[in-house]
Amino acid sequence: MLAPMQLELAPLVRLLALEADDAVHRGRAGEVEVVAMLTNIGMTAGAQTARRMLEQGVDWMMVVGIAGGVDHSLAIGDVIMPDVVLDRASGNTYVPSGTGGLAARGTLSCGDDLITDPGKIAAMARDGVVAVDMETAAVAAVCEDAGCAWSVFRGISDFADGGLVDDAIFKMTGPDGTADRDALARFLEQHPERREVLAQLARDTALATEAAAAAAIRACATL
């Protein structure tokens, strides 16, 4: 299992009682041996960690974490298992190997750019995009090149056009998803009205990460 941020990895480690061996966490989900790793944010990081995961001898890779919603029929905490994963930069598309017996739906659009423009998001929705993230297509490309099965479980933590995550917030986020505390403190001094926004984002993100981890763990029983 690959989790892009520390807060996405934490539920997997807790729920499965995984034990850390350097950067690798190991344990079991029922009869299935589980290896979990942190990827960090972004397409390059996703691809690099997917290659390191293949070196562990895994035969099915799962991307587990959060996504920004595009389809407003979704709710915060809903878990998406897309029909198709799109790399926005290359235009390449990838079809997950399975969804753990759950219904697949729509396109997950992936790229390094933070999409917040309402017009672009509306156009994506018209094209069948249900959510966006920054790693899954890169992991999918590595898996397909290697002939490794893969799937994705992403919990909706916010909506791309909702304004909770913008460039200012994103720039205060480290590669592993943790906040730069000094930068955050300065930001809140200058923008105290954003304190509740950040608190809401934290609550919604926690809900989404727990849901995605639980879905991925349930899917292990179908492998």
Average pLDDT of the chain, as a whole number: 91
Q: How far apart are CA 155 and CA 140, in angstroms?
A: 18
Contact 9, 36 (CB under 8 A): yes
**pLDDT tens per residue across span 10-55:** 999 999 999 998 889 999 999 999 999 999 899 999 999 999 999 9
Whats the size of the chain, residue-wise? Answer: 223
Mode of pairing for the β-strands spanning 24-29 and 93-94: unpaired
Question: DSSP alpha helices (H): ranges in the chain?
Answer: 6-16, 43-54, 118-126, 136-146, 167-171, 181-190, 195-220
Asked if residue 68 has pLDDT above 90, the reply is yes
Q: Which CATH architecture has domain 2-220?
A: 3-Layer(aba) Sandwich (3.40)
| Start-to-end CA span in the chain (Å) | 13
Q: What is the mean pLDDT of residues 157-182?
A: 78
